[in-house]
Amino acid sequence: MARPERGILWQSFGSPEGPDDVWPFLQNVTRGRGVPEARLRLVADQYLATGGSSPLNALNRDLIRRLGDSLGERGVELPIYFGNRNWHPYLADTVDEMARDGIQEALIIPSSAYSSYSGCRQYREDLIGCQVTFDTQTLKPFSQHPLFMAAEASVVASYLATRPPIDASTTAIFATAHSIPTATADSCDYQRQLGSVCEVLRALLPSDAPIELAYQSRSGDPRTPWLTPDIADAIHASFEANPNLRRVIVIPIGFISDHQEVLYDLDILARNAAQSHGLGFDRLPTVGGTSEFIEMLTELVLVWNSGGDPNSEIPGAEHLCHDGCCLSGAPPIPTSR
Ligand SMILES: CC1=C(CCC(=O)O)c2cc3nc(cc4[nH]c(cc5[nH]c(cc1n2)c(C)c5CCC(=O)O)c(CCC(=O)O)c4C)C(CCC(=O)O)=C3C
Ligand SMILES: [Fe+2]
């Protein structure tokens, strides 16, 4: 029998690619999610302030090209498709295209390294919402994979190699991730996974330089509790605690690629917080640009392509994605105002 047609689907968030996309994109992101209109208008202005587009879609296309090249070097030719939750190319359109191309088996790779509703369960729900006519296997959150850890470590090592040495008494180091509602965090492994990536990075830094986890991009209803501290608040607090502070370093470990929330909430808001105290500010690159990250994806695809279970390569993944995992902490949709 002929080998079934196989392909990869890179499943991501989507991002606006011009000012006209911003408002319909934001409505897609927040449909049924209980995000107040005022928050949405603020975020729309932030997108427009940075040109009305986000690099995320383009960076995802670049990642797909690099993964394809890397697989090709290992003698594996597989089509890699791209489908998004909130913007073109929409997941449903991509799934239709895959069916038209005769795909019979696909490995689905959600573009998030960590467990959370938005980063894991919701990607599975998105797929269930499509007319999928082929067999699929979805990769679980892969932040605990040794090559993911190595990729984050190489981001920090490259920085340390090119910048002045870190003086722990005058430097504050933060790792950031997207804030999520505490109710969601309680139903998944998000904070523990982030914490173990921080531990790996800590080992690279001078032994007395602490690395603190902070959160960014809080959304939702202000009355709902979300993970804290916010990165800007954390910068202010560390200056108040240490008037000798001179330098702030931010490592956005929660994201694979630079996107609007990295470019605005870190490069503008967090930088302003640091500069308001006269502090130097460096924001490190996201992990998607490293060769180790592409190597991790390549190895996972090769395992799948030779009939193995790629999720068995991710330490601890057997405990993820059970029935109650990553449930949404979003409030119910209001029926009246
Ligand atoms: C955990 C997580 C990730 C990481 C996992 C992953 O990568 O998937 C992530 C990524 C992203 N979040 C993004 C953008 C937005 N997220 C929003 C709102 C929300 N994010 C949430 C969580 C997360 N978000 C949550 C709990 C909400 C509240 C609404 C809800 O409960 O669903 C809103 C609404 C406006 C606002 O209030 O900020 C926007 C515009 C972009 C694309 C940016 C670009 O265009 O470049 C990316 C990659
Ligand atoms: Fe988000």
Structural domain count, the chain: 2
Express each pLDDT in 313-329 by its tens digit. 999 999 999 999 999 86
Closest approach atom of ligand 1 to CA 220: 28
Binding region for Fe-coproporphyrin III: 54, 123
Residue 207 lies in a domain: yes
Express each pLDDT in 240-291 by its tens digit. 999 999 999 999 999 999 999 999 999 999 999 999 999 999 999 999 999 9
Determine the number of helices (DSSP H) and then strands (DSSP E) in the chain. Answer: 12, 8
Residues 95 and 103: their CA atoms lie apart, in Å, by 9
Predicted ipTM of the assembly? 0.91
- What is the number of alpha carbons within 13 Å of residue 155 lying toward its C-beta? 29
Asked if the model's pLDDT at residue 239 lies above 90, the reply is yes
Within 10 angstroms of residue 244's Cβ, the number of other Cβ atoms is 9
Distance, CA 274 to ligand 1 centroid (Å)? 24
The CATH number that applies at residue 100 is 3.40.50.1400
Shared-domain flag, residues 65 and 182: no
Shared-domain flag, residues 81 and 167: no
Express each pLDDT in 190-219 by its tens digit. 999 999 999 999 999 988 888 999 999 999
Among 117, 219, 269, 325, which is best to mutate for testing ligand 1, by the most ligand atoms less than 8 A from CB? 219
Closest approach atom of ligand 1 to CA 226: 26
Shared-domain flag, residues 120 and 153: no
Nearest alpha-carbon partner for 114 in 174, 188, 182, 56: 188
Nearest protein CA to atom 40 of ligand 1, as residue = 26
Nearest protein CA to atom 45 of ligand 1, as residue = 15
Shared-domain flag, residues 36 and 119: yes
Q: Which ligand is closest in space to the CA of residue 44?
A: 1
* pLDDT at residue 207, rounded to an integer: 80
Express each pLDDT in 41-97 by its tens digit. 999 999 999 899 999 999 999 999 999 999 999 999 999 999 999 999 999 999 999
Express each pLDDT in 4-45 by its tens digit. 899 999 999 999 999 999 999 999 999 988 899 999 999 999
Nearest alpha-carbon partner for 287 in 250, 251, 256, 249: 256
Residues spanned by the domain of 10: 6-142+290-316
Cβ of residue 67 lying under 6 Å from some atom of ligand 1: no
Banded model confidence at residue 335, pLDDT cuts 50, 70, 90: very low
Q: Which ligand is closest in space to the CA of residue 254?
A: 1
pTM for the model: 0.95
